[in-house]
Amino acid sequence: MFYSCAGSCAGLAARGSPAPPRAAPPLPPLLLGEPGEESSLEEQRAAPDAGSPISSFFNGSGTKRLPQAIIIGVKKGGTRALLEFLRVHPDVRAVGAEPHFFDRNYERGLAWYRDLMPKTLDGQITMEKTPSYFVTKEAPARISSMSKGTKLIVVVRDPVTRAISDYTQTLSKKPDIPTFESLTFKNRTTGLIDTSWSAIQIGIYAKHLENWLLYFPIGQILFVSGERLISDPAGELGRVQDFLGLKRIITDKHFYFNKTKGFPCLKKAEGSSKPHCLGKTKGRTHPDIDQEVVQRLRDFYRPFNMKFYQMTGQDFGWD
Catalytic residues: 76
Of 228, 169, 173, the closest CA to residue 198 belongs to 169
Is 15 annotated in a binding site? The answer is no
Is 114 annotated in a binding site? The answer is no
Please list the residues that pair with 228 across neighbouring strands.
none
Is 89 annotated in a binding site? The answer is no
**Euclidean distance between CA atoms 167 and 165, whole angstroms:** 5
**Element (H or E) spanning 126, and its range?**
strand 125-129
Is 79 annotated in a binding site? The answer is yes
Is 235 annotated in a binding site? The answer is no
Please list the residues that pair with 265 across neighbouring strands.
256
Is 77 annotated in a binding site? The answer is yes
Is 219 annotated in a binding site? The answer is no
Cβ–Cβ < 8 Å for 299, 186: no
- Write the burial class of residue 274 (CB in 10 Å: 0-12 exposed, 13-18 middle, 19+ buried): exposed
Of 10, 6, 117, 121, the closest CA to residue 57 belongs to 121
Is 123 annotated in a binding site? The answer is no
Cis peptide bond N-terminal to 293, omega within 30: no
Is 284 annotated in a binding site? The answer is yes
R_g (Cα) of the chain, nearest Å = 20
Cα distance between the two ends of the chain: 52
Is 137 annotated in a binding site? The answer is no
3-state class (DSSP) for residue 226: helix
Known binding-site residues for 3'-phosphoadenylyl sulfate equal: 76-80, 157, 165, 282-286
Known binding-site residues equal: 76-80, 157, 165, 282-286
